[in-house]
Amino acid sequence: MNSIIKCENIIKSYKMGQTRLQVLKGVNLETARGEFVAVMGSSGSGKSTLLHILGALDKPDSGEIIYEGTNLARISAARLNAYRNKQVGFVFQFYHLLDEFNVLENTLLPAMASSSVIKWAAISSDIKKRAVSLLEKVGLADRLNHKPHQLSGGERQRTALARALINEPRLLLADEPTGNLDWQRGSEILTLLKQLNKEGQTIIMVTHDKKVADAADRTVVIQDGKI
Ligand SMILES: Nc1ncnc2c1ncn2[C@@H]1O[C@H](COP(=O)(O)OP(=O)(O)OP(=O)(O)O)[C@@H](O)[C@H]1O
């Protein structure tokens, strides 16, 4: 397999007071470049936990994540930050847009995540053009100045998708991207994901819904802490 990311024997538990809840009990998953994989499983099975670990938003107790041949456990904090920011794009169920910024600004935010001060003027015109073209692609060309509260749910998720793609990530991680949308709006997001995948985007998407998973090339299921 022409692997982009591979995880081996991932174990993850959460400590709750005196007890420890083991959620992932040895997960192995390999994803090829250009693949669209759906991760299914019942509520609480550990789907989001796995996605967060793949995106380095969380660390496993043990096990290895190999991204493009590099073991994420063996790189510096700075390189791990760069991985999170540049190689991976995230889409979440509840969008996680920032209310004080408009659609264009929200899309641009990851392009300057390395700075703690927001300096719009410092963003290159190429990146701004890319943001506008991504927003056109997701059908939001006439919503650039809208704030998140002035958008429908589908429009918010399409903004989040444009934001996830601004740094040209090689891996798109989507956590229940249609989970908060009606079927019509959800289908629009899935159509966009399929289109992106056709253009070469590798996607790993978490869902509990078989109909949503059908958009992917391959579905894996987490059950009893394993795939
Ligand atoms: N920070 C945390 N502290 C303690 N327990 C947690 C934490 N995060 C998740 N859990 C528990 O771990 C289990 C797996 O959670 P996770 O969110 O990965 O499941 P999921 O399969 O994505 O579920 P859903 O489909 O309901 O979103 C759940 O039982 C949850 O309660």
CA of 44 to the centre of ligand 1 (A): 5
Regarding the beta carbon of 197 and ligand 1, being less than 6 Å apart is answered no
Q: How many domains does the chain have?
A: 1
- Ligand 1 geometric centre to CA of 39 (Å): 14
Euclidean distance between the first and the last CA atom of the chain, given in angstroms as a whole number: 18
pLDDT of residue 122: 77
Is 82's C-beta closer than 6 angstroms to any atom of ligand 1?
no
Is the C-beta atom of 41 inside 6 A of ligand 1? yes
In this structure, which residue's CA is closest to atom 10 in ligand 1? 14
User: The domain containing residue 169 runs over which residues?
Assistant: 3-221
pLDDT at 47: 96
| Residue 83 confidence (pLDDT) | 95
Which tokens in the block code for residue 102? 């408009």
- Check if 14 has its Cβ closer than 6 Å to any atom of ligand 1: yes
* Pocket of ligand 1 contains residue 23 by CB under 6 Å: yes
Q: Tell which atom from ligand 1 comes closest to the C-alpha of 50.
A: 18
Asked whether residue 164 is assigned to any structural domain, the reply reads yes
In a domain, 118, yes or no: yes
Q: What was the pLDDT predicted at 181?
A: 83
Closest CA to ligand 1's atom 2: 14
Q: Report if residue 125 sits inside a domain.
A: yes
Is the separation of the CB atoms in 66 and 6 below 8 Å? Answer: yes
49 lines ligand 1 (CB under 6 A): yes
Residue 167 falls inside a structural domain? yes
- The two tokens of residue 48 are 């989001």
CATH code, domain with 73: 3.40.50.300
In a domain, 11, yes or no: yes
CA of 30 to the centre of ligand 1 (A): 22
On whether residue 92 sits in a domain, the answer given is: yes
Give 74-88 as a 3 state SS string: HCCHHHHHHHHHHHE
In a domain, residue 227? The reply is: no
Residue 94 near ligand 1, beta carbon < 6 Å: no
Q: Is residue 226 part of a domain?
A: no
3-state secondary structure at position 146: coil
Ligand 1 neighbourhood includes 87 CB (under 6 angstroms): no
- Do the Cβ atoms of 143 and 97 come closer than 8 Å? no
The tens-digit pLDDT sequence of the chain (227 residues) is 799 999 999 999 999 899 999 999 999 999 999 999 999 999 999 999 999 999 999 999 999 999 999 999 999 999 999 999 999 999 998 889 999 999 999 999 998 855 566 777 778 888 999 999 999 999 999 999 999 999 999 999 999 999 999 999 999 999 999 998 889 989 999 999 999 999 999 999 999 999 999 999 999 999 999 99
